[in-house]
Structure formats: structure tokens, C-alpha cells
Structure 1
Amino acid sequence: MADFGEMLRAAGDFGLFQKILLIALWFPLCLLSFIYASVFFADSDPERHCNTDWILGAGPNLTEEEQLNLTVPREPDGSLSRCLMYAPVNWTLDSIRQYGLNHTTACRDGWVYDQTLYQATIVTDFDLVCDKANELAVAQTVLGAGMLIGSLLFGPFGESFGRRRTTQIPVLFLFIFTLTGGLSPNFYLYLASQFGAGVGYGGFGMNAIVLMTEWIGITKRSMGACGGQFSGAAGLVCMAGINYLIRDWRLAQLVMAAPMGLVAVYIWFIPESARWLLDRGRTEEAKELILKAAAINRRTVPESLFEKIAVNKTVEKGGISVLIRSPVLRKRFLIIGLAWFASSLTLSCLGFNVGKFGLDIFLTQMLFGLTELPAHLLCFWLLELAGRKLCLMSTILVGGLVCLSILAVPAGNVIAVTVLAITARILVTVGMSICSVYIQELFPTPVRHTAAGLGGVAARLGGLLAPSVNLLALYHWSLPVSVFSSLTLLGGALIFLLPETRGRELADSTAQAEVPEVQTNWISTTPHPPREIYRNLYWPVRCQWVLPKGSHGLQQQRVAKCALI
């Protein structure tokens, strides 16, 4: 029976059609970095002090330094208080200078913010300081919660309604809520916009990669995910430059929304996954798309391939229930999900501390992006050379060890900390890129979108918990690093239990996906391989009789060793 892989090779598995699709989906993946990383700039807390212009009524000619010395108390280290002021009094300036002010109070008339670094952030626009400072973590958490809901919602949604819809609708979310976020008149509408943009982010990211992967052949399959991650790293670099030039967070939001509006127009012209259409039994629609791809690639698909699939193809029900019922698929998902969760937690914890490494925030963020660019290019080459399993284990394990090494750096050595943080970020980012390739090859077409979506949920959950993990620094500065490093090491070690998928065609049924882990040892006294080997299998299997150690050549102890051809 002809399968989709054979049809794709006939139509061209990496021709002009696939390249146009990749570019169309890589561009919005670049913009996703703008949405995610912009929060690091938008919520920056600049230097500030209470607004004490009340004293200018008594002394209009006071310099700023004199005004602050008279009206703002000092901290033990000699710096001006950021949240307290001296209570206003109806005294003359001479009386204030002679007797001084002693009664302190919270800021009554707002704050004066230093605009050296930023002209405006959500902190300065909504006064998220002092007793409202914890609301900054709420903004980060709301974005993460939206990404979590988006992954959870659009993952299973793609199994029923197709890959195309689960990329189109999230783009509309991204455009609308990025635009409304920049126009938000208050913090609560900003939070709602962050949540909506997070839903779009979570829905689009993994689903776009699934759509790309299902249109690409075996030899270039990792191009979709690795290229998407490369595009995201390029977005980090561009976003750092945009925020360096535009120091007003509202204007930066509007600038980010403009190209997303372009994507919201052309995204309606992308093709559906022909593999998914065949899996749903919609052969005529799949045939039309395959012929279109073949025409663009200047290839010809034999009619006999369509006839074979039309006769033999049956629809297999997928969804979350399949992941739960199948022991093989369930084990795979738990392992890859943990690795993805730990990598995302590490990445987010490092990202949310980007302004605390001691170097310029724009420079650090740009270094994050620039150093990831060659890493993702190298990732594509290594995946085809060394395979998914070895690459994922090595990147995550080494990334966890680099994170742990931060604890050994002497306090105040900001350059060493930054170098280690960037190195760890590169490794776990590449690990997440590999996860997005690996998870699609571990699961069959009926549940591939669900598995990828739930894997995205695990990743988003890591990002959602990152602010809470960082808060452990209140008890001891080493706790956050210890927690996310340990989880990363555990996730990397468990990858050893997964099968290698390099060079294998994507499975189109649960039986195909389970073949690499089926126990293929049977004790038999018959001269033929057991019939159960062939039950419910679509892929050809070759079996060979071997004698276990210690059998002393006894015919009845021969074992059938079976493997995919």
C-alpha cells in the first residue's frame, strides 16, 4: 500500500512549495519573540522617588538636589528612599531647614521616574511600585497562563479541525491583543491583552511547526522546527534593537503589531496538511493539495498512488484518549514532556533575570539572540548527523550542568555569570528546538497535534512557574538555580529511554508508532516466526532466529528478533 511519504517524495518533499510555506510560517515565529521578550523591557522598574513638589510652594527656587534632601528620607546605604517621603507641612522654607522633617509617609502624589533608560514602561504608566510591585509578577504570569491555555486549546483542536485553522486563528489573537495592549488605558485591560496575546502565542508556535513538518520529507524534516527557532532568535535580536531605539513601551507594542497585521492577511492562504486530510479520509482534498504542491515543485505524482490510498486508507480516531490508553505513547509523552517543561523553566528563569546579570539589558538580550543563531544552524546539522536522542540528551544535560556552575561563581563577577547564563540559555533553547522535532516523530498522525499541543502545555507551564521559582531567592539566592538545574538534569537523563527516530517516516497509525518499542522476543518451538508479529502492523517487519546465551543450541529455545525494514 502506498503511504503519504511515498506520495510526498513523488510530489517533491522539499521543493519550492515547502520553501514558500516555511518562509510564510517562519516570519510570524520571528514576531513571537517580540511578544514574549517585550515583557522584559515593558515591565522594567527604573530609578524613582516620591513626587515632593509640595515643597516648591514654600521654596520655588529650590534645586532638585535640595528638594530631595529636604523631603525624601535616606536608606541605610545612603540612597534616596524609593517608596517613602516626609509628610507635607505648612511651614516656611526656613523653618523646614532649621527643624527638619521627621514624619515619613507613603508617596502621596505619585512618583518621579528616571527616564535615562526608558521614557515609559508599564511600571511608570500604571505606578506598579512599592505596595503594587508584586503586580509585575502577575503580568508575567498572565502571559504564561495565556500561552498555557493556547497550547491546551489549540492542540486537540487541530486533530478535529485541521492544522491550518490552528495557525490562522492564533494569528488573529496575536494581532488584536498586541494592538490593544499598546492602547490599554489601565493595567487591567493590559493584563487582559497579555492573556489574549499569550493564547495566540501558545496556539500558533507549535501548530505552525506541526504543519511545516507534515509537508517536509525525511531528510529535511527538522528544518521546520530548527528554522523556526532560528527565526525566533533573529526576532530577539531585532526586538532588542527596536526597544533600544524606541524607549516607549506603547509605541514599541504598536510597531510590533504592524507586521503581525500583514501576517493576519496572508495566513488565510496557507495550505492544509495533506497528511491530516488523508488521515481523516478526505482523499479528494488531499489529492488536490498534493497535485498543487507537485505542480509548484515541477514534479508528477502517479495516479496509481492515489488509487491505492483511496482503497486502503481508513480513518483512525485520535485524541488525548489514545495517549492515555497506549502504554508506549504514554511513556514517551511523560518523558518528552518533562524534558520540555524543565527546559522551558530554565529558559524563562534566566530570561526574567536578564536585567539582573549586571550588564546592559539591551546588550544582554541581543547577545541572547545572536549566540542562538549559529546554535540553531548547528542543531539542524547535528540532528541529521547524530540523531534526535543523543542531541537532546547532551544539550539538556550540559545545559543543566552549566546552570549549576553559576552557583560556583564569586559574587560580583557579572561577566562570568552572564557568559554562563547565555551558554545555558543556548543549550536549553536548542534542546527545546529538538523537542519540537522529536515529539512529532514519536507520535502518529491521529495524535501528533494533540501530543505537540500538550507538549507545548508542559513548556508553557514551565514558563508560568518561572516567576514563582525566582521568588525562592527571597529565602536564599541559590534556590532558584538549584531547582531548575536539577529538573533539567533529570529530564535530560530520562531521554535515554526514548527510541531514535532519525531517518524514519512519520507514523500514520498508532500501530506504526508503537513498533519500535514492541517487545519482539518470543520463545517458540515452531520453525516459523509467530503470527502476532504481523498483527495490526502497516510497516514491513523482518524477523531473524537467534539462540540466546546459555541455550546450548537447543532448537526449542530459539528467539525471534524482529525489526523494521
Structure 2
Amino acid sequence: MGFNDLLLSVGGLGRFQIIHTTMLLIPMIFMSCHNFLQNFTAAIPAHRCWVPSLDNNTMGYDQNDLPAFIPVDESEKPMSCLRYRRTLYNMWTNGTLTNYTEPCEDGWVYDKSDFSSTIVTEWDLICKLRQMRQIAQSIYMAGVLVGAVVLGGVSDRFGRRAILIVANLAMAVCGTCAAFLPNFITYCTFRCLCGIAFSGIVLNSNSLILEWTPPKGRTVLGTLFTASFTCGQLLLAALAYGIREWRWLQFTVSAPFYFFFLYSWLVPESARWLILKGRSREALKYLRRVAIINGKRKEGEMLSQKILISHMQSEISQVKRSHSIFDLFRTPGMRKVTICLMMVWFSSGVAFYGIGMDLQNFGISIFLLQFTFGAIDLPAKLVAALLMTYAGRRVTQTTVLILAGVALLANAFIPQDMKILRMVLAVFGKGCMAASFACAYLFSGELFPTVIRQTGTGVVAMMARVGSVVAPLILLLWEISPILPSAIYGVTAIISGGAATFLMETRNQQLPESVEEVEARSRDKGTVKKISKEEVPLNQCESQKMVPKDEVPLNQSQSHSAPPKALMVDTV
């Protein structure tokens, strides 16, 4: 018996789970907007040097007399970071420029046909400061990484609901400050704090959904959880198309969190966590409320604190066992699983965010690209689900990573003027990376044993956040050679796809309970028990032994062996 029996007794997957999940998924849509927000708030419009004698009375980007003031590049467009030292006409001799040039000492003029303002135009993050744009995105992702490291343990101590409430308020306030404070340093500071709040919301929303959902509903709700991020990418394309001023776009995706903060007070704390923390009275109150919402008032009234504790004995005993992060590397089998999964997660993160944050280099409308890059995630995750079901996890993980790597590596060597082909390969590669994430979430949870599953999945998922921090920095290599970023993403994905072949297949197999079982399977000495279509429930006598004589037992037909603890894993 376990907590899932208690959930089944109060209605299983009922009206409460639908309302509860909906309340937690709506904020997830806006969370994805924050991840890719700098595609638009930090877009680099066409720009040229400010020429005092030409631009004092006009503010237009295009001027008829520009060739006399601004040199042109190979495509006959004004150069972005140079101007002539003095104004002289027709200074071309045999195709060679004979006049002298200088940097843009008086500032720049920007083409505002696509964006009325961005952080680039606000603080002139171009030419020598061009790299600051990518550094700002890395700072945000570093905040996400710090939040994932710190807030997971904090929520285990203080509760999922409390951290969710604080994180919603922090996202609203910090997002607003990032939108309206006056300089680049404060912008980066509050974007970093937004990243920390991002992790607090995602981690605790995921936990609250999983820990209030019975096993048969977790696959569906887990899919909806990841799909909400895809919807966020589509929403961002629409919002950015309608709001071309970066401050108002930043505020638009942050302001809804004031509302989310208010209604997050209505979200119930995880009853599983409350019982494990010895607060069974509060857990009983929430379970009875859930029973009423699900139309199981009578069953809810039959529950008591003793029944709750008796059903949680297995999980309480697991909590008391001592396991640490070193168990992930202490033995050969666990070491192989951990290192291979770390490679898988890192490559998925670095390529997914590297492609998703590089829209302007394709030379096509970034609004269309953002929508296309978001839309591809839906069929990609559906195909991944089908492959995992019929071909297995290992085959799926290996295939999507290698396919993504080949597409990205090929894209690195395609000429820049073949825009459509480059976009098709990039979209395909990003879709494969979305499928890789979908597979990695499930595969990781099935490879780690119950006694250290939450720690293991947390550590390997953290590598995706490391990848998201590194991805914008790799884009800086574009200044050296346009080939390098895409080539690095492709090679990394192919290597990780090869590493995935060393992992054990887990399709239709029982979850491992101990480190010893993982070691036995890795040596092919353990007998892997496959899950049958029908699980045999505990008999009535065994169920009654677990319930005190003076308490009314739960419906015996709903008693099953205790499942592993819910995973608390970060997402895309």
C-alpha cells in the first residue's frame, strides 16, 4: 500500500486533478516566453554610424547621400561600425576605397521597421559590445541553474506550495523591474533573479502535479506539462509580433504572475510531503477536501491520521535511509548510467537553446521562425512517444540525438544564401532535440533506482541547464566563423547519441529499487521483471494487516504495492 491508494480512495483522476493541473499549467505557458524572450527584446536591427552633418535634422536609417559618409560592404549595404573620417564624394579609384574610416564615435542610427526598440538599441550593444547580448542570456540561464540547485532542497524542507507562492511573486516583481529600470547592469541582475524564480515555479509546479495524480494519469499530465512550454513559444511569437517595444514586451510576459501569485494561495500543499514531514493532520484536511471535489465525500470522511500513516510506512522508511549524490558514481553500473545521461542532457540543452536563440542568423522573419520552431515540438514529442512505446527508450534516445547532430552538422557547411534549406535543417534539428528531452525525462526516471531516483534525475537534468548557459556563449564563435556554432552543436549531439547506446533498455520493465539491482542489470546478471498488463492486487488479509483494527480500511480493490516517489525534474 502507499499514497497512491489514498489518491484512488478519494477519486483518483477526478475533477480536482483537472482543476489543480489547469491552475499550474497556465503559468507554464508564460515561463517558456521568458526562456526565449531575448530573441525579440535583444534583437539586433540594421544599424549604421550616426553622421552629425547628415542626421542632425533627420532620424531615418536610409539616406540618399549615405555613400558619401558611410562605406558599404560586399552586398552594397552600409557598414555597421565604420564611417568616413571626412565627407568626400566619389572617393573610389579602381574599386579601392581611398578615404580613411573611423569607428562610430557619435553613436548609431537604427532601422526601426521591425522593432521600435530593443535592449540593443537602448544601450548600443553592438560592434565592440555585441557579445553583451549573448552574455545577458547566459546570465539569465545561470539564474535558472542556481534556482534548480538551491530551490529543490528548499522546497523539500519548506514545502512545494510556499516556494511556488514566493517564486510567482518574485517573477512578477523582478520581471517588472527588468522592464523599467534604466541600465544594462540592473537589467541583467533582475533577469538573473527571474531565472531563479523560473526554477522555483517549474520545479514545484511539476511536483505538485505529479504528487496529486495517480500513476495512470501521470503520463497524460506529464505530456500536457511539456506541451504547455510549446504553447508558450507560439504565444511569444504572437506577442512579439504585436508588441515591438522591448520594455512593454518584457512587462507583458511578467505581469500575469501577479495574478498567478494571488491564486497560487488556493493551490493545496502536497499531502504526500505533509505526511512525510509528520504533518498528517494537514494532509488529512486536504485529502478530505479533494474527496469532496471529486464526489467522494463519504470515502474522505472514512480517512484518519492513522490510516494515512499506515499507508505511507514504506515511503517513510525510504526517507530514513541514508543516500547521497556520491552513490551515483560509487559503483560501475551507476557511474555509467549517470555519466551517459549527463552527456545526453547537456547536449540536448546546449543544442536546443543554441538553435532557439539564433533566429536572426537565418535571414528570415524571426516571428515566423519563432512560431515554426515552437510548432515543431508538438509532432516531435508525439513521434518520440510512439517510438518509446514500440521501439524502446534507448533506440529513441540514440536515434533522435544522432539525427539532430547530423542535421546541425550539415547545416554548418551550407552557404548562408540557401536560407530555406538552412531553416528546414534547423527546424528538424530542434524537433529532434525536443524529442530528446521528452525521452530523457522518462528514460532517466526509469534508469535510476528508487532509493536515489530524485537525486539522480535532478543531477542529470541539471546538465541541461549548464548547456543552456553555455549555448549563448558558443554563439559568440559566430564572429570567428559562422560554421563553428552549428558544428559544435552537431558534434556534441552525435557524441551523446553514441553514449546513449551504452544505457540499458527499460521499456516494459520494472523500475529498479536499489543500487544493487542496477549493478546486477548492468552486468546482465539480474533478472529483469517485465510489467504484465494486469497487476495482481494485495489480498484482503494482507491489506487488513496494514490497517489498525480500530480504523475503517480503504476499499481493498484499490490496494497496490507502493510506487516510487514522484520525480521532481526540471523541464525545457
Is TM more than 0.5 here?
yes
- Secondary structure of the 1:49 match is strand
1:260 aligns with 2:257: yes
Distance in 2 (CA, whole Å) between partners of 1:360 and 1:380 is 31
Question: Residues 399-424 of structure 1, C-alpha deviation per residue, up to 9 Å, x if partnerless?
Answer: 23332343464553221221111111
Alignment of 1:8-27 (within 5 A): 8-27=7-26
- Give the structure 2 partner of residue 436 of structure 1: 441
Give the Å deviation of 1:220. Answer: 2.6
Question: What's 2:166 paired with?
Answer: 169
Deviation at 1:428, TM superposition (A): 0.9
- For 1:78, the equivalent position in structure 2 comes to 76
- 3-state SS, counterpart of residue 112 of structure 1: strand
Post-superposition CA distance 1:157-211 (Å, at most 9, x none): 2332333334333322321221111102111111112111111223332442233
In the other structure, the counterpart of 2:125 is 128
C-alpha distance in 1, partners of 2:137/2:372? 22
User: Partners of 1:86 and 1:71 in 2: how far apart?
Assistant: 5
Residue 197 of structure 2 corresponds to residue 200 of structure 1: yes
Against the structure 1 CA distance between its residues 156 and 438, is the aligned structure 2 distance closer, same or farther, given a 3 Å change threshold? Answer: farther
Q: Distance in 1 between matches of 2:11 and 2:389?
A: 19
Q: Secondary structure at the match of 1:221?
A: helix
Distance 2:109 2:151 in 1: 44
Higher mean alpha-carbon deviation, 117-126 vs 390-399, is at 390-399
User: Does structure 1 residue 108 correspond to structure 2 residue 105?
Assistant: yes
Deviation at 1:230, TM superposition (A): 0.9
Pick aligned residue for 1:309 from 304, 308, 311: 311
Q: After the TM superposition, which of the residue ranges 65-74 and 415-424 deviates more from structure 2?
A: 65-74
CA distance in 2, matches of 1:97, 1:405: 45
Matched letter for residue 434 of structure 1: C
Once the two structures are TM-superposed, the CA of residue 145 in structure 1 deviates from its matched residue by 1.1
1:396-407 map, 5 Å: 396-407=401-412
- Residue identity in the other structure for 1:250: R
**Aligned positions of 1:224-303 closer than 5 A:** 224-299=221-296, 300=299, 303=303
Query: Within 2, Cα distance between the matches of 1:479 and 1:259?
Result: 39
Does residue 337 (structure 1) correspond to residue 357 (structure 2)? The answer is no
Residue in 1 that maps onto 2:42: 43
Mapped pair 1:457 → 2:462: yes
Q: Write the mapping of 1:479-558 to structure 2, written as runs, cut at 5 A.
A: 479-499=484-504, 511=513, 515=517, 517-518=519-520
Separation of aligned partners in 2, 1:400 and 1:340: 14
Task: Give the secondary structure class of the aligned counterpart of 2:37.
Answer: helix
Unmatched tracts of structure 1, length 5 or more: 90-95, 524-528, 530-538, 541-563
Q: Out of 164, 185, 193, which is 2:182 matched to?
A: 185
Letter paired with 2:71: P
CA separation of 1:294/1:337 partners in 2, compared to 1, >3 Å: closer, same or farther? farther
Q: How many residues align?
A: 515
Q: Is the 8 A contact 1:322 1:447 kept in 2?
A: no
Task: Measure the CA separation in 1 of the matches of 2:115 and 2:485.
Answer: 28
**CA deviation map 1:219-256 (0-9, x unaligned):** 23233332122111111111111111111111111111
Report the residue type matching 1:316 in the other structure.
Answer: K
Structure 2: gaps of 5 or more residues: 93-97, 528-536, 539-562, 564-572
CA 1:80–1:410: 2 relative to 1, 3 Å: closer
Contact 1:159 1:450 in 2 (8 A): no
**Structure 2 counterpart SS, 1:128:** coil
Contact 1:442 1:513 in 2 (8 A): no
Counterpart of 1:161, as a letter, is F
**In the alignment, what sits opposite 2:370?**
365
The percent of aligned pairs where both chains have the same amino acid is 27
Q: Distance in 1 between matches of 2:260 and 2:464?
A: 25
Picking from 99, 114, 119, the partner of 1:117 is 114
- Are the aligned partners of 1:234 and 1:373 in contact in 2 as well (CA < 8 Å)? no
Following superposition, the deviation at residue 370 of structure 1 comes to: 1.8
Change (3 A) 1:504 1:161: farther
- Which letter does structure 2 place at the counterpart of 1:195? C
* Bigger-Rg structure (1/2): 1
CA distance in 1, matches of 2:255, 2:437: 28
Equivalent residues of 2:117, 2:244 under 8 A apart = yes
Judge conservation of contact 2:409–2:489 (CA < 8 Å) in 1. Answer: no
Q: Is the 8 A contact 1:182 1:253 kept in 2?
A: yes
Flag the 1:480–1:51 CA change in 2: closer, same or farther, 3 A: closer
Letter in 1 for 2:320: E
Taking structure 1 as reference, are residues 497 and 102 closer, same or farther at Cα in structure 2, changes over 3 Å only?
closer
Tell me the alpha carbon deviations over residues 97-123 of structure 1, each in whole angstroms, 9 at most, x when there is no partner: 699994533223221111111110111
Partner residue in 1 for 2:548: none
| 1:68/1:151 CA distance change after superposition, 3 Å | same
Pairing 1:471–2:481 present: no
Cα distance in 2 for residues equivalent to 1:149 and 1:427: 27
**Does the residue aligned with 1:79 lie in a helix, a strand or coil?**
coil
Tell me the residue number matched to 1:392.
Answer: 397
Scaled by the length of structure 1, the TM-score of the pair is: 0.80
Q: Distance in 2 between matches of 1:464 and 1:310?
A: 39
Q: Could you say what secondary structure the match of 1:164 adopts?
A: helix
Which amino acid in structure 2 is aligned with residue 22 of structure 1?
A: T
3-state DSSP class of the match of 1:65? coil
Describe the SS at the equivalent of 2:216: helix
Higher relative contact order (CA 8 A, sep 6+): 2
Q: What CA distance in whole angstroms lies between the structure 2 residues aligned with 1:435 and 1:67?
A: 57
- Give the distance between the partners of 2:53 and 2:142, measured in 1 at CA: 42
Q: Deviation at 1:322?
A: 6.2
Q: Judging changes above 3 Å, is the alpha-carbon distance between structure 1 residues 170 and 322 closer, same or farther for their aligned structure 2 residues?
A: farther
> Quick one: structure 1 residues 421 and 410, their matched pair in 2 at CA, closer, same or farther if it must change by over 3 Å?
same
- How far residue 76 of structure 1 moved from its aligned partner, in angstroms, is 5.2
- Tell me what 1:546 maps to: none
CA deviation string 1:307-339 (max 9, x = no partner): 523666434256754644764655544332321
2:550 corresponds in structure 1 to none
Distance 1:447 1:24, change over 3 A: farther
Q: 2:475 and 2:464 mapped to 1: Cα distance?
A: 17
Distance, in Å, in 2 between the alignment partners of 1:478 and 1:254 is 36
Secondary structure, aligned partner of 2:36: helix
Structure 2 residue identity aligned to 1:433: A
Counterpart CA distance in 1 for 2:61 and 2:26 is 51
In structure 2, what is the equivalent of residue 3 of structure 1?
2
The farther-off stretch of 462-471 and 154-163 is: 154-163
SS at match of 2:48: strand
Q: 1:45 to 1:338 in 2, by over 3 A?
A: same
Q: Which amino acid aligns with 1:210?
A: S
